[in-house]
A and B are shown apart, each in its own frame.
Chain A
């Protein structure tokens, strides 16, 4: 790509007044490529207005004098318990989730087993990605609650699932897939010769695992742990459904805004949530970037050494199957529950739940959510890839800032964007009496408040596209783009004809990720739904709270089906899914 175009973005940079073709070409190289300028301006504007401003607004609101007593209240007993709970939940979920992710990745890469069994385990492990984050919580109550079908009816126990134990169970299972995919990618990239070298030097299998495999995966494990920590911190759905009296920052913040419309308390809690999230997220990025285990010269040889001991194999496979069985059981409960009158009480089969969701009061939520997520997906995908292109290939000051700003979209918990949007966009933004941005939030806003939700969908998904795009751009020799430009193509054409096709798998995985993310998002949009715009995840939460589990299950099933259908359609539209799978290991992560 023409790096000089961006380097000289400050001046007109006319080329040499030449008469030959060469001079003309050089002139074009030096001049600003309009497409690049437009892309840059649009990207920067989006990042500043849709991402940075709302976050700053929340911080600003929490830095007023009136906020000091509120800070004091939440930083001293008894209210500091909420902060403690939040951190404890984060650490526990991250530990358990990373362990599960490691187990699944290890089984995939290092444990010899039937190909189909592994395939099935893989698909099961990915299931939570395409389902609403708290779907498992609902199913867990039905199965393992105090009157759970398994704990009570089968085992005759009275288990207290509300609070930390239940949250740990469902959040670990909901969030581990992202860590699993990236750990598996790392393990596959690990040069098998490293294990062989250690064995050749006299190391036993267990010792190799301890002195080579684990240390090499340590940055990856750390990055997975921190990512899950941030996810757990930011999660709102599960604490609301299954929190019991175990209050965490996000659920307290929700009560402050939704129950009391107390923006000041909301902002203070948001800042308390923001600080650890941001720190941990960017420490995670630091480790994620160091988690490259590609050997010094590449070109790995040999095959990954596999676990050969029978007992070890049986134990690892057994453990993975157990967890997978639990996931299947929980999702099975959702499916069965969606066709049942009152799961656990009245097991009459019925289609009433689907009737309510598809043809009753749920219709609008289904269409609105699908439409908005469908609109956000290509926009977020394109934005992510364009920013990736600017950040990787550009040579302008502030590239790092653009990257950072975009990544805030996932690093900052969604609840904070919810509050930020209410703070910034609840009234028209005016400069000198002119309305620059109309009111975006609330039912009376433009398009019934749909724009705010759309923006949030985009900003939450674009970072995925950015990371996937950046990772695959780094693999592509810039001279390929230079060749295109030397043949007379401008930047826009080069991007469209050369760059996009080359990074198509990453683009596709970005799109899939973006759609799944938008469909399952709740923590930000829950603050932004309006009478005109219904969002499925919020409806599920309402149904759950009102204990109409049948409807909640039906919503979950439909949501999962929509996401799966979209993945199928996108794969056909954009390219083969197998190639996308390979790049989907790019670590993007963070909360919904």
Chain B
């Protein structure tokens, strides 16, 4: 099977509420998915990620914009003509059909019969490690097994694009982790372009080539997991992916290596995007691992601590600013208790100053389109 190139061009979806009000679920989204890539749509519920996926699948029709599969506009094509495999949140296994028949359902529709059919179904089931369960009914399977059947059924039709709608959200944590690596393995093995919807950022990180963070119908940022984590484009992205605190400080200098920002009276050189000017205020993303506890020029008050084994998580306060910190080296330095004052320092190379135009946390974002670059 050949992987498809999927492109969304300025796609907008407006729903009407029963009272007749318009609700913009997806607002002017442009995305490009290179062949074979695994793209995750990530965001809180109601951000428009599922609607986007359903428009790709054809269950919703865009109000405006184009959806192109290999340069062909498919926005008006009915779902059954799109050749995309989809894995549903509720799995949507046909309860009246056996596992075999579930997987065979789509293959048969493609005119495959007899031994070929058996082989295709067997291969799909083997791919998801479901040997010997072909005769069972869906209700006789565990949740994880049902999920695998759903996956096998979607893959068996050799789709141009695989779509996943929060497929792991109904499983327990342990199963989620093992299944997600399996999904990744299978996807890489087949090389099928995949779009995956989730609200779980660790799932998105673990699976994706490209993470698309969505909020209020818009794309906040799209990029590789590391890039989104390391260089968030907005406060929303920084906050949604990993944990982050925000410190504001004046920009003292702009250098090719980064900005010099004054934080708690200490000048720190932080990584940053373009557009900052000396004298502006910068918002710096402080992740817990970018704070070193136990030595440094800043005196911080310990407000709380959580012991996690290999790490200790502290809640620190300087002035009226509260931020988190992780101490991976507590064994050599000992534990700090709440009320204690500790010296801390900020590791400039692990900090990131948000781009100036999206610094504020208001919903109005300047960027209207976001191009996704191939990795």
Contacts and interface: CB of A to CB of B under 8 A. Distances in A.
Q: Do chains A and B touch in the complex (CB under 8 A)?
A: yes
Interface of A: 115, 191, 193-194, 196-204, 207, 211-212, 215-216, 218, 293, 295-302, 305
Given A200-B57, A295-B95, 20 more contacts: A193-B90, A194-B92, A196-B86, A196-B92, A197-B153, A198-B94, A200-B82, A200-B86, A200-B154, A201-B80, A201-B106, A201-B153, A201-B154, A202-B157, A203-B105, A203-B109, A207-B109, A216-B95, A218-B96, A296-B138
A196 B59 contact: yes
Given A202-B157, A296-B146, A297-B146, A197 B170 contact: no
A191 B109 CA distance: 21
A196 B88 contact: yes
B90 A298 contact: yes
19 contacts: A193-B89, A193-B90, A194-B92, A197-B92, A199-B80, A200-B86, A201-B80, A201-B153, A202-B80, A202-B157, A203-B106, A207-B109, A211-B105, A216-B94, A295-B90, A296-B138, A296-B146, A302-B54, A305-B59
Contacts of A212: 94
Contacts of B228: none
Nearest to B81: A202
Given A115-B18, A215-B96, A296-B139, A203 B80 contact: yes
Nearest to B85: A200
B92 A191 contact: yes
A131 to B, nearest CB: 31
Contacts, number: 101
Contacts of B360: none
A297 B147 CA distance: 10
Contacts of A203: 80, 105-106, 109
Contacts of B89: 193, 299, 301
A249 B267 CA distance: 99
Contacts of B109: 201-203, 207
Contacts of B138: 296
Contact of B92 (A207, A215, A218, A295): A295
A313 to B, nearest CB: 16
Given A297-B170, A302-B59, A199 B92 contact: no
Interface string B130-143: 00000000110001
B79 A196 contact: yes
Contact of B86 (A191, A197, A211): A197
Nearest to B86: A200
A216 B96 CA distance: 6
B114 to A, nearest CB: 19
Given A115-B18, A200-B57, A293-B95, A301 B79 contact: no
Interface of B: 18, 50, 54, 57-59, 78-86, 88-96, 105-106, 109-110, 138-139, 143, 146, 153-154, 157, 163, 165, 170
Most buried by B among A200, A293, A299, A301: A200
Contacts of B96: 215-216, 218
A380 to B, nearest CB: 35
Contacts of A216: 94-96
A101 B88 CA distance: 30
A200 B91 contact: no
B106 A296 contact: no
A198 B85 CA distance: 10
B24 to A, nearest CB: 18
Top 7 closest pairs, chain A to chain B, by CB: A201-B106, A193-B92, A199-B79, A197-B92, A193-B88, A202-B109, A200-B86
Contacts of A300: 90
Nearest to A201: B106
Given A196-B57, A295-B93, A301 B88 contact: yes
Most buried by B among A194, A201, A293: A201
A295 B106 contact: no
Contact of A191 (B57, B90, B146): B90
B80 A297 contact: no
A292 to B, nearest CB: 9
A297 B91 contact: yes
Most buried by B among A193, A194, A203, A297: A297
A204 B78 CA distance: 9
A200 B95 contact: no
Contacts of A196: 57, 59, 79, 86, 88, 92
A191 B165 CA distance: 14
Nearest to A303: B59
Contacts of A298: 90
A296 B102 CA distance: 14
A215 B102 CA distance: 13
A202 B158 CA distance: 12
A423 B225 CA distance: 82
A242 to B, nearest CB: 39
A427 B53 CA distance: 74
